[in-house]
Structure formats: C-alpha cells, structure tokens
Amino acid sequence: MSRPREPLGPADAKKLLRAIVAGGEVGFTSHALDEMEHDAITQADVTRVLRGGTVEPAEFENGSWRYRVRAQSLYVIATFRTEVTAVVVTAWRTAP
C-alpha cells in the first residue's frame, strides 16, 4: 500500500484517520506509550481522539508530516505510514 500524498488538509487527514481506525492499523512509538502511561491515557482514549477529534494543519518534523488531533483535554500526534497505517508519535493530557 502506498503512502498518502502529503501534506493532507485537516479534513482529509481526519477522513483518513477515521478509515484507518475503522479498518487499518494504528501503531504506537515507545515514546507515545511512555507519555500515555505518564498521563494515564489508554489506547482506547487515543482511538477516540483519532476517530472524533479536531485535526490541526500538518507540520513537517523529523522527516515526516505530523498531524495534531485534539479532543477536550487530550492531544495526539500521528503520522501516516501508508493509506491503511498510522503511527501515534506522542500523546498528552492538558490540565482541566
């Protein structure tokens, strides 16, 4: 499967994230898992953010386009590896 043509606009990124959550694969970096544990964020929380959160414009960092997705006090940064695979780079919770 090929990589999506990036950068994607927020609406297209959200559509692709929803499709990947529904039928693709979401991976997690070790950094993301560490940060999630630190902030008591579960993989289900991340899935919920990716499915229904607000996607901000892409930013190019460390050789890849990254998409910040927020829902209430949760933030998730994800990248696309292919059109059916996303990787969560990090996640955090802001103070309520």
The reply to whether 5 falls in a domain is: no
The reply to whether 1 falls in a domain is: no
The reply to whether 67 falls in a domain is: yes
The reply to whether 73 falls in a domain is: yes
Share of the chain above pLDDT 90, in %: 95
Domain count, the chain: 1
CATH number of the domain at 40, please. Answer: 3.30.2310.20
Mean pLDDT calculated for residue range 77-91: 97
The reply to whether 21 falls in a domain is: yes
- The boundaries of the domain holding residue 56 are 10-93
User: Are the CB atoms for 20 and 85 separated by under 8 Å?
Assistant: yes
| Nearest Cα to Cα of residue 20 among 52, 50, 63 | 50
Mean pLDDT calculated for residue range 18-46: 98
Average pLDDT over the chain reads: 96
The reply to whether 62 falls in a domain is: yes
pLDDT category at 1 given cuts 50, 70, 90 is confident
The reply to whether 2 falls in a domain is: no
Kindly report the three-state secondary structure assignment for every residue of 14-51: HHHHHHHHHHCEEEECHHHHHHHHHCCCCHHHHHHHHH
